[in-house]
Structure 1
Amino acid sequence: MASALIYVVVVLAVAAVVYLLASLVFGRGEELEPLRPGATPTRLPPSPLAGHDVRSLRFQLVFRGYKASEVDWALERLADELDDTRRRVTLLERELKAERQRRDDSADADGEDAPDGEDAPDGEDTSPEREL
Structure 2
Amino acid sequence: MFWFLLIALVVVVAAVALFVAGGGSGAALPEAAADRTVWPLPADRPMARSDVETLRLPVALRGYRMAETDEALDRLGAELAERDARIAELEAALAGAQAAAMGGGGAKAAGRTEGGDGEEGEKKE
Q: TM-score range by the shorter chain?
A: 0.5 to 0.7
Q: Which residue among 38, 42, 54 is the counterpart of 1:45? A: 42
Kept after mapping to 2: 8 A contact 1:41/1:58: no
Segments of 5+ residues of structure 2 without an aligned counterpart are 1-32
The CA RMSD over aligned residues, in Å, is 2.6
Cα offset, 1:109, TM superposition: 1.6
1:82 aligns with 2:80: yes
Kept after mapping to 2: 8 A contact 1:42/1:57: no
Normalising by the residue count of structure 2, what TM-score does the alignment of the two structures yield? 0.61
Normalising by the residue count of structure 1, what TM-score does the alignment of the two structures yield? 0.58
Cα offset, 1:105, TM superposition: 1.1
Report the counterpart of residue 106 of structure 2 in structure 1: 108
Cα offset, 1:127, TM superposition: 3.6
Matches within 5 A, 1:5-84: 38-46=35-43, 47-84=45-82
Segments of 5+ residues of structure 1 without an aligned counterpart are 1-35
Cα offset, 1:126, TM superposition: 2.5
Cα offset, 1:103, TM superposition: 0.8
Letter aligned with residue 39 of structure 1: R
- Give the total of aligned pairs: 90
Letter aligned with residue 66 of structure 2: A
Whole-angstrom distance in 1 between the partners of 2:46 and 2:101: 32
- Flag the 1:49–1:88 CA change in 2: closer, same or farther, 3 A: same
Cα offset, 1:113, TM superposition: 2.5
State the SS of the aligned residue for 2:122.
Answer: coil
Q: Deviations over 1:76-118 (max 9, x none)?
A: 0000111111111111111111111111111112123237x37
Q: Which residue among 109, 119, 122 is the counterpart of 1:128? A: 122
Kept after mapping to 2: 8 A contact 1:44/1:53: yes
Q: Which runs of 4+ in 1 moved over 6 A?
A: none
Whole-angstrom distance in 2 between the partners of 1:106 and 1:67: 58
- Flag the 1:118–1:128 CA change in 2: closer, same or farther, 3 A: same
Kept after mapping to 2: 8 A contact 1:42/1:60: no
